[in-house]
Chains A and B, each alone.
Chain A
Amino acid sequence: MLHMLIATIPVLGPLFGGLENMMKHVLNFFHSSVGLTWAWSIVATTVVVRMILVPLTIRQLHSMQSLQQHAPEMKRIQQKYKQDKQKQNEELMKFYRENKINPAASCLPMLLQIPVFIALYYTLKHFETNFAVGKHADLSFLHFIPSISDGTTAHWGGYVLLVVYVASQMASGLFMAPTAQKSQRVIFMVMPLVFVFVIAKFPAGLVLYWVTTNLWTVGQGLITRRLVQRTPAPATEKRSSRTPAKEDESTAGNGASPEPTAPTPSPAATGKPRQVRRKKSSGRRR
């Protein structure tokens, strides 16, 4: 299915080829220079990537918190300089600087993770040709996965890995959004059960990557949760006293279900704040 999708976009072929090549070198480094087995090389690559991302994660966590706290003020700035976009941007940037919000973060570059994932997929799929390993190369993992380049369901060990995957995915889902609504928690529980059928056809090494990254997320979530408990956020005070109306926007996954449908905004108009759904005072938050 993936191949067909990729074949439809001609630019992607060479791009993925390059990414596959890069992934190949990284895995090769861990295998040949560090001396890990191929399976552990995948784990090591994942862990290193997540370790590199930790400072970024923390910074972004902070900037997200302050974005939520300052939503009403940003709205005020945007409305005040509605006519003058230039001035509005200047004021917003100033506001970001004052409140240490990182405006460099953005979602579009994050979509680049998908090609990276696909690179790993292809690297594992073409494993034998990529690394010129013989039939007797050790591609096993912890004695229960005979080969990371085989389909996950090719051996009973793969099913064990899939169970671990489902569990870790559910756990990481719960850690990602502790304030999620009940319906969203249901999605957390159901999504992995749907995914598992897609993933079962992937090479076992890819599932291994996924399990590793999930476990990292859980560990990171446990640690941040503890840290957050130890240091009560001073922002909570500020929010409740100064900005009473912001509850609505900030609540993670706060559905818009009970509200009347707002007049449909044209995409171009969404940059401007609208006032329709502000005062919905539900004390639901935390």
Chain B
Amino acid sequence: MSVVLRVPRYAGIGLVWAWRLTFGALFPTSCKYEPSCSEYALQAVRRHGLMKGAALAGWRLLRCNPWSHGGHDPV
């Protein structure tokens, strides 16, 4: 894939890292899923591109609430 087409997903990956390094750093590793939500977001964006990856990650974040049960949940 050309570099230009990959730019959006780099932006997405950068955003996830922005989260990890700022607010995420305050509560490290507090996810009930494996892989964690941010790792899930990284993998989803890498594999499916920014739009679909972001949608998958958003859905995962919604599932990662106090009423869900967690567990093993790969992209």
Tell me the nearest residue of chain A to B26, going by C-beta.
Answer: A113
Determine if B25 and A214 form an interchain contact, defined as CB atoms under 8 angstroms apart. Answer: yes
List chain A residues, Cβ under 8 A from B46: 255-257
Q: Is A105 within 8 A of B32, CB to CB? A: yes
**Which one, B55, B59, B62, B72, contacts A75 given CB within 8 A?**
B72
Q: Are A111 and B29 in contact (CB under 8 A)?
A: no
Please report the total number of B residues contacting A with Cβ < 8 Å.
48
B27–A92 touching, CB < 8 Å = no
The proximity string for A residues 147-177 relative to B, scoring 1 for CB distances below 8 Å and 0 otherwise, is 0000000000000000000000100110011
A106 with B72: CB separation less than 8 A: no
Query: What DSSP secondary structure best describes chain B's contact surface?
Result: mixed
- A35-74: CB near B (< 8 Å → 1, else 0) gives 0000000000000011001001100110110011001101
Interface pairs (11), CB distance under 8 Å: A56-B30, A60-B30, A64-B31, A75-B72, A78-B71, A101-B70, A105-B32, A187-B17, A250-B35, A256-B47, A262-B47
Q: Which residues of B contact A (CB under 8 A)?
A: 13-14, 17-18, 20-39, 42-43, 46-48, 52, 55-56, 59-66, 68-75
Contacts from A to B (Cβ < 8 Å): 49-50, 53, 56-57, 60-61, 63-64, 67-68, 71-72, 74-75, 77-78, 89, 92-93, 96, 101-111, 113-114, 117, 169, 172-173, 176-177, 184, 187-188, 191-192, 194-195, 210, 213-214, 217, 249-250, 252-253, 255-257, 261-262, 264-265, 267, 270-271, 273-274, 277
